[in-house]
Chains A and B, each alone.
Chain A
C-alpha cells in the first residue's frame, strides 16, 4: 500500500472491483445495443440494479464470522421453506412457477438457494471434526443439504439451477477433503445413469434440448435455431466486430434473447473476438481473485465459503459461454454482470459480497500459517 492512496481505499479488493465495474459498464453498453440503441430499455435498470445490489454486497461484507455462522442454518431452512412454498403455490395456482410475489417484490428462492447451499456446506464442514472427514458422517448430512433443494428445484422444473446448486455444493465437498474415490465413484455412477436420467428424469422439452445440442441441424428452426443464430452472431463479428449498435443479428431479431441468455453473442457480434477476450479476461481476474481469497482464508469455513462462491459464479459464466458457443445444451442460465436480469444479478452479487466479506476477515486477522 503506497502512501499516496488512503488506507481505507487501498484496502478494497481493487483487483476484483475494477474488472467487475468494467463488466457492468460494458454490459450496459451491450444492453443498449440489444435494445437497438435504447438506453432506457435494459441498460438503465441494469445499472440501477447493480447500484442497489452493490450496496447490498457491501453490507454483506461487513458481517462478522460469528454472525454468518449463527444464521447459516436458519437462513438455509427459511429458503428451503420458501422453495416448498413456491411449489405449493404453483400447484394451487396451476402450472409451474418459480417465484413468490410479496407485494412489489418478486422473490425467486431457487436463486437464493445457490449461495445458501454453499454457506450451509461450508459451515457444516467447518465445524465437522477433522477426523470424521473420511467417514459417512461427512457425507450424509451434506448430501441432504444439497439434494433437498435440488429436488424442489427440479420439480419446478429448472434443470439449470439445480445443476448450479449441485455444482456449488460438489465443489465445497471436494475442497473439504472428502476421499477422492467417492468423487470417482460418483462420477462413474453419474455417467452410467445419464441414459436413465435422460429418458426418465428429463421433461420432453429438456430431452429436445439435449438432442439438438448433440445435432443442431436436426431442428434448424427450433432449438437448434438458437445455437446456430448465436454462432452466426459470434462468427460474423470477426476480430474487431461490426461496431457498436451495428449488429444485424440482434437488431433484426435473428438472435433469440439478445439481452439475457445470448447477450454474449450480441456483444461478440459488435465487438468481435477482442470484446470476447476482454469479457473472458475480466471474469478470469474476478475468479482468480475469488480463489486467492479462499487460499488466503484463515479457517476451513472461510476457505470453503470463498471457494464455493467462486465456483458458483464460475458455473454461471462457464455454462452460459459454453452454451452460446454451441458446446452445451440450451439451458436458461444468463451471463453474470452482463445479462439483463435481476435474480441472477442478485445471486452473483451475494457471491461477490460474501467473497468481499471473507476478504475483509482475511485482512483483519492476517494469516499466520499456524493452526487457527
Chain B
C-alpha cells in the first residue's frame, strides 16, 4: 500500500523528504490511526454484543446465582429412643456461632473479638485457630454453641465488624444421660475436610450441620440425618443478607428406636462407679439388649463441637481408657464364668451330673499335678459350678477333649461376632488344638487344656459374648442379641438339652448366689426373685509380678460375673466385667444392684445414692469435676488433638490389642489360679464358707455382707 511505497522511496535518498511528503505521510498515517481506532471500536461493539446478546443467558444465570444465595438449613437430626420411647439422644434449640475461614478478613482479630464477647478460654481459642488453619473451602468452624440470648445479641450487633462470623439459631444434639450413652451412641460433629472431599455436598459445609462420628450415631447416619431445608436470600458480595426470598422447612430425620432401656443403661453406667468396666443386660426371651454400659466414658454432649484439646488429653492419658467401648472392644479371659457352659459340653459328651471326682487341692493330668484354688474333696457337677472347683474341669475337659468344649463355646456365643449395627466388635479367641497349631505352629499340650478348661490361657471374650452365653445357658435357646426395637425377632433355635439338664445347671448357678457358692453377697434383696450366676477372676499377669489384688492397678485381676434372673424362669441375663477389679468381688455387687434396679427401681436407686455420695456425685458430675481439675492443672500445656476423627479412637484400639497380647502370653504357661474372694496365699483346706470376702477392705465400695 501507500505506506510501503513511501518506505521504498525514502529508503535510498533522504533528500526526498519534503514538506509535501510529510504532509502526505501525515494524512495516510492519520487515516491508519483513525482506521485502527474504528477497528478497535468495532471489536468492542462486537465483543459487547457477543457477551450481552449471544451469551446473555449464561451471564443472567450467573448474576442470579450471585444475587440469590441458597442457604441450607441443617435438618434436625432424628432422635434415638430407648425401648419405651424415651430419648437417649434428642435435639436442643440453641444459639450458636460459627466462622467461615474463607470469608474472614483477619481471623486472629475476629477470633479475639469473639473470645472477648464469649469469654472463651485460651485452649479453646487454640483449638479453633487450629481448625481454621486446616479448614478447606467454605467449611464452617464452630466457635460456640448453647449461647444465651445476650451473647447472641452482642455478636449479632457487631456483625459488620466481624466478616465471616455466622451467628444463628439452630439445634444441637443433646444426650440427656451424657457419659452413660457415650460409647453406645457415639457422638456427632461437623464433617471433616476429608469427608467433604469425598462427598462434596454443600450441606456438609453448612454451619450447624453435624454427622454421626462413632457407634450408633454413625451407623444410623442415613436414617437420622433428615432432609435439609433451604432459604433463598438476596445477599451482597460480602455475604450480608438484604432480604428473604423464600424458605423451605427442613425435614427431621427419622427416629431410631433401640431395645436399650434408657434408665437401666444410665443406672448401670453410674453403678460401675469408680471402676473401669462394663455391664451388659439382655432380655433372654427376645434377645433384646437392654443395657450396654461401659465406663469410664466421655460426655458426647461436649464432643459435638469437636473434641477440645483439654478434654482429649484428659481422656487419652487416663489408663482406664474412657475412649474405648469395653462392651464390644474390651477382651478379657473369661475365667470361671465359662464353667457352666463347659458343663453343658460335658453333658453333651455323655458325662453324667452325678459323676464325681476327688479334688485333692488339685489334680494330676497326664504326668503333672495342677493345683486347684482349694481342696474340695468329692466334687460332682453342681458342686464344681457353685464351688468353682478347678480339678473337676481339668479332669473332664481332658476326658472329653477340648475340641468338644470349644465347639460348645462357639455354640454359646464365645468367639462369635454378632449381627449388630455397631461400628466394630472384637470377637476374641476360643482356643483349641487346631487354632493353636495355626496361630503358633505348636502342638496342643495337656496344660493348654488345663488352662482353657477354667477360662484362662488363650481364652479371650468380650462382655457382650458373656451376656449372650448367660442368656443361652439360662434358656437353652440360641438367643441372638438384638439392638433395634423395630426389627423382627427371629425364632431361636433350641439346644438339644433336656429340661432336667438345663434345670440342673440353673440350680447349680443359683447355688453360686443363693446356696453355698462363691457369690453369696450377690443375692437379690427382693422377695421371691432369685438370681443365678457364676463368678470369674481373670489374671492379667503371672503371680510372680503381682498377687492380683493389691499393687499397681494395671496388674490386678479382672473381676467377672455372668448372671440371669429369675433363676427358675429366666427373663434377664447379663454380664459384668470390671477391669483390674481385683477379683469377681468387684463385679457381682454391680450385677446385683443392676438386677435389683430392674425389678425394683426404688431399692436399686437407694443403693446407688449411698454409693454416689461416697464417690463424689454421679458419673456426669465426676467427669465434669475431673475435667475442671485437669484443665486447671494442665490448661496451658495440652497438645492438640489428632486431625482425623479415626485417629482419636485408633490409638485406643491399639492399646486394646496390646492388652489382648499380654493376656495371650499368659496362656503360654501354667499358673496357679486364685478364686474369688480368696487371698492368693490362702490356697488352703479351709472350707470356702469360712472365707470372708477381703475385697471390701481393698475398695470400700461394697456394702459389707456375710461371706458365702
Interface residues of A (CB under 8 A from B): 130-131, 133-135, 171, 174-177, 179-181, 229, 231-239, 248-249, 252-254, 268, 272-273, 276-277, 280, 283-284, 287-288, 291, 294-295, 300, 303, 307, 311, 314, 318, 321-322, 325, 327, 371
Contact = CB atoms under 8 A, between A and B. Distances in A.
A171 B17 contact: no
B514 to A, nearest CB: 76
A175 B48 contact: no
Interface string B5-31: 011001000110111011001110110
Contacts of B55: 235
A41 B27 CA distance: 45
Contacts of B18: 130
B654 interface: no
27 contacts: A133-B22, A174-B29, A176-B26, A177-B21, A179-B7, A181-B7, A232-B66, A233-B63, A234-B52, A235-B52, A235-B59, A236-B63, A238-B60, A239-B53, A248-B234, A252-B67, A254-B66, A273-B49, A280-B41, A280-B45, A284-B41, A288-B34, A291-B37, A307-B30, A311-B33, A325-B44, A325-B51
Contacts of B30: 175, 291, 294-295, 307
A235 B158 CA distance: 36
A311 B32 CA distance: 12
Interface string B194-212: 0000000000000000000
Contact of A249 (B25, B41, B48, B66): B66
A31 B59 CA distance: 23
Contacts of A295: 27, 30
Contacts of B66: 229, 232, 248-249, 252, 254
A241 to B, nearest CB: 9
B22 A300 contact: yes
A249 B3 CA distance: 47
A252 B233 CA distance: 12
B238 interface: yes
A325 B47 contact: yes
Contact of B237 (A252, A277, A280, A284): A252
Nearest to B56: A238
Report, nearest first, the 8 A-B pairs whose CB atoms are least far apart. Answer: A235-B59, A236-B63, A177-B25, A253-B237, A248-B67, A273-B52, A177-B22, A235-B51
Contact of A273 (B21, B48, B234): B48
Interface string B497-524: 0000000000000000000000000000
B705 interface: no
B33 A307 contact: yes
Nearest to B6: A180
A350 to B, nearest CB: 20
Nearest to B18: A130
A175 B52 contact: no
Contacts of A322: 40, 44
Given A133-B17, A249-B63, A175 B56 contact: no
Contacts of B242: 252
A136 to B, nearest CB: 12
A81 to B, nearest CB: 32
A134 B47 contact: no
Contacts of B19: 130, 371
B40 A303 contact: no
A234 B54 CA distance: 12
A135 B14 contact: yes
A280 B51 contact: no
B62 interface: yes
B160 interface: no
A273 B53 CA distance: 8
B51 A231 contact: yes
B315 interface: no
Contacts of B21: 177
Contacts of B49: 273
A156 B634 CA distance: 54
A48 to B, nearest CB: 29
A235 B60 contact: yes
Contacts of B235: 252
A317 B10 CA distance: 35
A40 to B, nearest CB: 21
Given A235-B59, A235-B60, A252-B67, A134 B10 contact: yes
A237 B17 contact: no
Nearest to A307: B30
Given A133-B17, A180-B7, A236-B59, 20 more contacts: A134-B10, A134-B14, A177-B17, A177-B21, A231-B59, A235-B55, A235-B62, A236-B60, A236-B62, A239-B56, A252-B66, A254-B66, A272-B52, A276-B48, A280-B48, A291-B37, A294-B30, A307-B30, A325-B44, A327-B47
Given A325-B47, A325-B48, A283 B33 contact: no
A179 B4 CA distance: 11
A252 B45 contact: no
B378 interface: no
B58 interface: yes
B704 interface: no
Contacts of A252: 66-67, 234-237, 242
Interface in B44-83: 44-45, 47-49, 51-53, 55-56, 58-60, 62-63, 66-67
B38 interface: yes
Nearest to A283: B41
Which of B3, B37, B49, B237 has the most A CB atoms < 10 Å from its CB?
B37
A234 B52 CA distance: 6
Interface string B131-163: 000000000000000000000000000000000
A130 B30 CA distance: 18
A130 B22 contact: yes
Nearest to A242: B63
Nearest to B4: A180
Contacts of A176: 22, 26
Given A175-B30, A249-B66, A252-B235, A238 B7 contact: no
B238 A253 contact: yes
A231 B10 CA distance: 47
A229 B55 CA distance: 14
Contacts of A177: 17, 21-22, 25-26, 29
A232 B63 contact: yes
Given A134-B10, A235-B59, A171 B22 contact: no
Given A134-B10, A175-B33, A235 B56 contact: yes
A93 to B, nearest CB: 25
Contact of A303 (B15, B17, B26, B53): B26
Contacts of A232: 59, 62-63, 66
A130 B236 contact: no
Nearest to A253: B237
A294 B23 CA distance: 12
A321 B46 CA distance: 12
Nearest to B3: A180
A181 B25 CA distance: 14
A314 B44 CA distance: 13
Contacts of A134: 10, 14, 17
Contacts of A307: 30, 33
B56 to A, nearest CB: 5
A306 B208 CA distance: 66
A268 B50 CA distance: 13
A171 B49 CA distance: 29
A311 B37 CA distance: 9
A166 B43 CA distance: 23
A363 to B, nearest CB: 20
A174 B28 CA distance: 11
Contacts of B17: 130-131, 133-134, 177
A235 B47 CA distance: 10
Interface string B537-572: 000000000000000000000000000000000000
